[in-house]
Amino acid sequence: MCAVHAKDQTTAHGHGHGHGRHAAPASAPVRRLLLVLLLPLVLATVVGALVLYPFDHDQPTGAEAGLAQVPVRGEVTAVVRGGCGPDADQPGATGCVLVTVRMADGFAPGRDVRIPVPDQPSSPTFAVGDAVVLSYGGGDPNAGQSYQLADFQRGFPMLLLAVLFVAAVLLLGRWQGLAALGALALSFVVLVLFVLPAILAGEDPLAVAVVGAGLIMFVVLYLTHGVSARTSTAVLGTLVSLVLIGVLGVLFSALGKLTGLDEDTANLVSLLGHGIDTRGLLLAGTIIGALGVLDDVTVTQTSSVWELRRANPALGFRELYAAGSRIGRDHLSSVVNTLVMAYAGTALPLLLAFSLSGRDLGEILTAQQVAQEIVRTLVGSIGLVAAVPVTTALAAYLASRETVPEPEPEPEPEPEPDDDAAAGEDEYDDWDEPAWDEPQEPAWRRRVTGDLRTGYDPAKGPWRRPGRPVPRPGDRGLG
């Protein structure tokens, strides 16, 4: 019996990877339905990735793309105030901060160069010992005029933060956290090795974003949560929401005459040397940005519906959908606020600049740079809202058609021996009652042992409720 029970538990654990210890395998009709729905989508995603990937495109970079600046690492050794230009060393000259940097690599490693930095509120503050990055644009490698202070070195703090993040995920998630980290790494691989090269090669950014989001979604969800009916339902809900976000994004970016052109995009177009769909680039960012939040909503809704079904197998489609929708409404308000705050935080400097412009609120909200952030936020939020009923309906339909295994009956407890019956008439023989003719101490002077509330003394064996002793001939008060 123990071996059979252990085998059943092992089977249940194996099928429930990622969704609880006692998740049951999907029934055959559910598996067939999911296969019919998902297989064409998986094939379309793979074919789209093969068609859009720039196999024969050689993208010029660095100096080939017109970027002649070479990064050089160094350390600040001195900071003094002085003038700008040729009169920097003149007594009393002001207007710049002269930063001396000892270069660690580049064309003159070990040499010191002095670089003037404008003494303005917008300029960063440098101190002795700062690890910095210089930008070398050619010319005499020993002259300070050939360099510019470009940035600070941040390798160590960024690495330390990454280590803390990995440690926190593994400490809390353990093997599930390890799978999540692997999925995160694969997401970056898709972005760096597929999405970015395809867009730089001139492919439609919206199509690339849709295919890339599909690849990320399949990899992340199945690797993190396991291959099961629950995960497949979350995948379907995410796909439907992404399609809705794409359609609404195309529609309202066209109605709003959004071009997607800002300073960064204009610089990108000039570097590429060929045209790029800047509006499609805007929509691609919207889809990829909403993908992570969509995964959260769809997985939560699917798991909620499946757990409701497991807790009460009598629940049908209507009951599961109603209960799952109530859970989704509570979750939705916080998720939408998260997306809005994420976009607002990204555009905070832009909002501050517009606030100082003296323009009214309507003009600020309909300006190109603000309007495109609003379209991103609202389109993504509509997709999140739609994900709740769509995913809940799919999960309720599939979960109601799964076979829920019967719980194993718990073994009945063995009856405890009746100590009182076994004792018979001698149950009062061990009752420690002082003789009636012995002098009694006051209650406040008696030393009490054992439990003060019940009078139980562990040294006297199992506790039995004391009864009144049976009167015997010769006792005081009897004839």
End-of-domain residue from the set 118, 153, 188? 153
Instruction: Judge whether 456 lies within some domain.
Output: no
Angstrom distance (rounded) from CA 347 to CA 369 = 9
Give the pLDDT score at 457. Answer: 55
Same domain, 130 and 41: no
Q: How many domains does the chain fold into?
A: 2
pLDDT tens-digit map of 349-358: 777 877 777 7
End-of-domain residue from the set 335, 370, 399? 399
Q: Which CATH number do you get for residue 79?
A: 2.40.50
Beta bridge partners of 115: 99
Under DSSP, the state recorded for 136 is: E
Same domain, 246 and 378: yes
Same domain, 34 and 89: no
Give the pLDDT score at 267. Answer: 76
The encoded tokens of residue 433 equal 């009652």
The encoded tokens of residue 84 equal 């700008």
Give the pLDDT score at 477. Answer: 47
What is the secondary structure of 83-132 as a DSSP string?
ESGGGTTSTT--EEEEEEEEESSTTSTT-EEEEEEE-STTSPP--TT-EE
Label residue 464 by pLDDT band (50, 70, 90): low
Sheet strand arrangement including 112-118? 112-118, 95-103, 70-83, 131-136, 147-152
Same domain, 53 and 113: no
Under DSSP, the state recorded for 466 is: -
Same domain, 193 and 231: yes
Same domain, 177 and 94: no
Same domain, 266 and 311: yes
pLDDT tens-digit map of 158-180: 999 999 999 999 998 888 888 88
Q: Indicate whether 35 pLDDT > 50.
A: yes
Instruction: Judge whether 229 lies within some domain.
Output: yes
Helix H or strand E segment including 312? none
Same domain, 138 and 263: no
- Provide the residue range defining the domain that includes 174: 17-57+169-399
Instruction: Judge whether 5 lies within some domain.
Output: no
Instruction: Judge whether 433 lies within some domain.
Output: no
- Of 91-105, 142-156, 386-400, 439-453, least confident by mean pLDDT is 439-453
Same domain, 218 and 250: yes
Q: Indicate whether 254 pLDDT > 60.
A: yes
Angstrom distance (rounded) from CA 289 to CA 291 = 6
Beta bridge partners of 71: 135
Of the candidates 197, 201, 204, the one whose C-alpha atom is nearest the C-alpha of residue 272 is: 201
Instruction: Judge whether 434 lies within some domain.
Output: no
Same domain, 50 and 87: no
pTM score, two decimals?
0.67
Instruction: Judge whether 158 lies within some domain.
Output: no
Angstrom distance (rounded) from CA 23 to CA 305 = 13
* Mean pLDDT of the 418-443 span: 50
